[in-house]
Structure formats: structure tokens, C-alpha cells
Structure 1
């Protein structure tokens, strides 16, 4: 089945963080606090998915206050950090939401993501993902993790569901000319 047909069935899209929503580098201050950089293009794409009725989740192996803050900032309702078994985590979420695997998608970048990616109806990976992940993803973005890859996948999903034009329409309307 083509990636577009798979994306058209999505009701839930979950994402890894490091290497997907970020560039994969870990930044630490001198006192050991971790911080991350997120891409605003990705954030807007995630909000557009939500507006289109797709439930969002973050499932990541690391724990970070920055990730919790970003999830809150974006209104992502399902945040799971410090997860060792991402497939089992998503399975429990699907049971709670009463959704089948075919209605779920996951975007990951490394071999630890493969068990959950391969279980989903749709899976995506950033262009700079591990070589083992790339041929197994239904869709590989042209952009790298942390550099708009998530936005590219969000736009693809919206297009597959026939909602991309509607999501962009408010931004494409010319403003009214000022009256003299």
C-alpha cells in the first residue's frame, strides 16, 4: 500500500523527539541541565494536524523538562517520556483511544523506533535517520530531524486526507486594501 493511502487512514500520529523534533544533539549546561532546540515550522504543522482532527502523541526514550514544556506549548495531549518499549506504550494508548494499529502513525529515526514504526499503519523518518530505518519507513522526509522534517510529514498527512488546502487557506487570503 502506498504511503498516501496509509496516511489517509490516520487518526493518531506519534513522534519521537531526539533526531525527529530536534537535530538529535544533546545540549547540557555546565550544571548538567539539558536543553533542546525545536523548529517552529514543525510546531505549526503539529497544530495543523490537531485542527484537522488527528490526535498527537510524543513517545520518547529520554526524559526532559524541555520536552514537557514543548508538549504543553503545542497542546499535545499524550506525552510519554523515559519509555523503553515504545511499541507497548503506543499499544496501550491505542487501547485507551479504541483505535486499531492501522489508524496510528509514528515518526522515528533510529533502530529503537523500529518495533513501534513497523507495527503502525503509517511510519515516517527524517532524511538523516539511521540506515536501517530509512528503507523501512513508508515515507522519508527530504528534511533532516529538527530542520522541518516533522512539518513535511504533517503536510503530507494533511494532503493525503484532503485537508492541506483548507489548512493553508487562511494564510493565503490577500488582506483587504486600506480604504482612503
Structure 2
């Protein structure tokens, strides 16, 4: 399990899409348009990361208009779709931002995500991530992909920085 000290250093958190921000199901209309279902809990967690100064990126092997719309809705400027080499994409992003790998995190769910997961200072997977991936990450969420796993990771990162309680308290005022 990840230690709060290492999670507190994260300046950029990246997410996979299918199986992380969604439940991994692929829906297509008769016209071939892809439909994705996202969790509003996860979306608010992403917004909270941004409010705390943690940059958010999406690095996905697939491309979809639905994802582009969701990323725009969340104010995520670093959207990388159709990426074959996610680790190389991350390295380029970090170089442009002046961020060390130890200050980056990523959440993925399948074995194809292991190269990027192992390159980060913090790695996570949903509860229903592939069993082999669960053995090789810092944090395994108790919730499934597309069902609050991202929010759980966001809350862990914010708690590790010591800001989660204050962010929650603001909703009680």
C-alpha cells in the first residue's frame, strides 16, 4: 500500500480511461459512435485535485469523442488519446512540465498499463483491475473502475497532502 509521504509529492496524476474512468464496457450506436459512461463522483474528485494544484492528465490507448467532451467538461488540458506507448507520452509530458517521475502518478487497470504504472512515483488500480496489475501497484482502490475508484485515489492523494478535511469542511459552511 502506498505511503502518504510518497503520495503527498504528486504534482501530476494521470488516468487511463476504459476500466478506470469507465467500467471498461464498450458501447457503440448503430452508426458506430462510441458511448462512454463516467462517474460524477470521479469527476468531482478530479476537480478537487485541480483545486489543490495537482495537474490531471488522461493518457488512453483509445480515442473517442465522448472522452474529449468529458475531458473538456472537467478542464483537463492534457488529453492524450490513441497512445500506443503511454510511458513515452508520460515522459514527454513530464519533460514539458518540468516534473520528475517521482512526482507523477498514474491509475491503470490492465497489463498494458504496467510500463507507465511502474515509471511513476505513485501507481494505482481499481478493485477490479487485472490481478497481475494489483500485485504491482502502490494503491488498490476498494471500488471498481467507473464506480468511484478514481475518487478514492483522489481522496487518498488529497488526504496525503493534509488538505482533504479542509476541502470537505468547506461544503459544511
Q: 1:47-69 deviations in whole A, cap 9, x for unaligned? A: 00000000000000000000000
Counterpart contact for 1:3–1:122, Cα < 8 Å: no
Aligned to 2:28: 28
> Is the Cα contact below 8 Å between 2:2 and 2:122 reproduced in 1?
no
Could you tell me which residue of structure 2 aligns to residue 94 of structure 1? 94
Query: 1:131 offset after TM fit, Å?
Result: 1.0
Larger radius of gyration: 1
C-alpha RMSD over aligned residues: 0.9
Note the 1:56-67 alignment, pairs <5 A: 56-67=56-67
SS at match of 1:123: strand
Q: Which residue matches 1:134?
A: 134
Q: What does 1:19-168 align with in structure 2 at a 5 Å threshold?
A: 19-168=19-168
2: CA distance between counterparts of 1:128 and 1:172?
33
Gaps of 5+ in 1: 174-180
Tell me the equivalent position of 1:177.
none
Cα deviations across residues 106-159 of structure 1 (Å, max 9, x unaligned)?
000000100000000000000000111001110000000000000000000000
The alignment partner of 1:106 has SS state of strand
> Runs of 4+ in structure 1 displaced over 6 angstroms?
none
Distance 1:143-1:160 versus aligned 2 partners, 3 A rule: same
Partner of 1:7: 7
1:169 aligns with 2:173: no
SS at match of 1:19: coil
Number of equivalent positions: 173
Distance 2:68 2:169 in 1: 31
How far 1:2 sits from its partner (Å)?
4.0
Deviation track 1:5-53 (CA, whole Å, cap 9, x = no partner) reads 2211000000000000000000001111101000000000000000000
User: What residue number does 1:178 align with?
Assistant: none
Q: How far has the Cα of 1:3 moved from its partner?
A: 2.9
Taking the aligned partners of 1:79 and 1:144, their CA distance within structure 2 comes to: 22
